[in-house]
Chain A
């Protein structure tokens, strides 16, 4: 027991001082206004403010779509590129490259690509015979456009981890199943995926958290618009903290976000039942 703490101590000390303690301070501050204690006023403000409530709803909807989407895409790519193609390393690296581009620059590039009149994306759609789309300037398409950009920038990252996880699964198990007559998908569902559970848990939780905390494309491209259709809690938090300098409200928003995240992540852990060791 004491030995365990020796191993964990350096990391724990840093985590506690750099992440946990400031979070607790933020929690305490969320009950203040300009330094004075005001109880639940900030939270009351959040719960009575239509715009923030809308942001909570939009955030939930955003995550309901983007997380399964990205995990499934990353998994399909991982299954494809684990060994079913020639020169897999090349494709993996190319798909990974967007992860290395600074997100702000990637966002600007996609913003240009999505210009309704003359962007490359509409040029491509037109070439295919499809009418031009408004993308980021439309209430109905803006959130999906953000999902699209975030997926382009992040799927390669998760794919790499899934490939690593897939590689851990012994061929012998899969071969045995195939000898028994199981097809590809059958093997996938009954052998591969259960054995991938630990990696999947990691990727799902990590991706979910990353998406809940996403705000940079919103900050640069839409600032919550059009008509609040892309207003996410994290963007509201950032805006209140930095632009409006309303730190206590930002902390309260952060606590709300954390609470929602904790519920979601706990559910995901339950779903994948990986708190037991191998």
Chain B
């Protein structure tokens, strides 16, 4: 259909807007630093396309601490997602499927928890971590990421949409709450779980200040911190910074791509998606 083609064109142009700066970063990472600023203006395709293929920035990164740092980021983020999903879905279930007095108060606490700017309260928190010798540990990196009220919020919203009839039917069959949670809610919630996983992952992936404050061991640096160390007081290595950033942005993107098809699930048992 013409309309579909037209909309696809719109989608293409829109995506171009979002992707062009990243293309620019990639091209800049593949050229010598002096060239990066030379091609800014006037408008030319040269700025956005890798016309030189100088891979020295990437090579330098790979030889240094960066691969280790990216691995650290992946490990910490993955750990956050696994533990976070378990904890958040359980909490969301308790806040939606089960009715009890004071439910709204608890939910309010959950919402307030992610209204608090983490940067500010991280100062006393970091001190507690250091005093208890818990700095330089993946556990103290993961824990704040796991306590993510936003993920609980998302899952709760989704769970609220699951018909009560399903719960009642299961209870009539003699199922306990755990069975209902594990056997009914979770399988129906793939889109929300992926969404919550995304929240947990991105929070940890973008996390910079907290690792900076509690990690002093270079080998445990996460990628954003390792990247920042390339901008010294007298040495501004934009090429390397961009190379590192391109690598960093590829990973969540590559994870999201295959997970897309799980978004096509509907909870109404009667509707079948294409």
A residues whose Cβ falls under 8 Å from a Cβ of B: 1, 3-8, 10-12, 14-16, 18-20, 22-23, 25-26, 77, 80-81, 83-106, 108-110, 112-113, 115, 117-120, 122-124, 126-127, 152, 156-157, 160-161, 163-164, 167-172, 198-199, 201-202, 205-206, 209, 212-213, 215, 234, 237-238, 241, 247, 250-251, 254, 257-258, 261-262, 265, 274-275, 277-278
A119: chain B residues within 8 A (beta carbon)? 40-41
Bound: A20/B111 CA distance, A: 11
Contact B274 A85 (CB under 8 A): no
CB nearest to B38 among chain A residues? A118
Contact B161 A168 (CB under 8 A): yes
B138: chain A residues within 8 A (beta carbon)? none
23 pairs from A and B in contact (CB 8 Å cutoff): A4-B95, A7-B90, A12-B106, A18-B144, A19-B116, A26-B121, A80-B14, A97-B22, A99-B252, A102-B227, A105-B245, A106-B245, A113-B24, A122-B41, A123-B42, A152-B18, A161-B154, A163-B263, A164-B263, A167-B266, A212-B115, A261-B115, A265-B111
Contact A102 B94 (CB under 8 A): no
Contact A95 B248 (CB under 8 A): no
Main SS class of interface, B: helix
B 119-156 to A, binary, CB cutoff 8 A, 1 in contact else 0? 11101110000000000000000011011011011100
Contact B157 A206 (CB under 8 A): no
Bound: A17/B88 CA distance, A: 16
* Nearest CB in chain B: distance from A91 CB, A: 4
User: A20-B112, A237-B120 are contacts. A167–B11 as well, Cβ < 8 Å?
Assistant: no
Bound: A102/B21 CA distance, A: 13
Pick from B42, B115, B143: contact of A14, CB below 8 A.
B143
B 10-32 to A, binary, CB cutoff 8 A, 1 in contact else 0? 11101101110110110000000
A103: chain B residues within 8 A (beta carbon)? 206
Contact B265 A167 (CB under 8 A): yes
Contact B120 A7 (CB under 8 A): no
* Nearest CB in chain B: distance from A38 CB, A: 19
Contact B153 A167 (CB under 8 A): no
Contact B158 A8 (CB under 8 A): no
User: A7-B181, A100-B202, A102-B206 are contacts. A14–B147 as well, Cβ < 8 Å?
Assistant: yes
Contact A172 B271 (CB under 8 A): yes
Contacts A23-B112, A106-B245 known; list 20 others, CB within 8 Å.
A1-B100, A3-B94, A7-B90, A7-B93, A7-B181, A8-B91, A19-B116, A23-B116, A84-B4, A97-B19, A98-B21, A99-B252, A101-B249, A171-B271, A202-B157, A213-B117, A237-B120, A254-B120, A257-B117, A265-B115
* Nearest CB in chain A: distance from B238 CB, A: 8
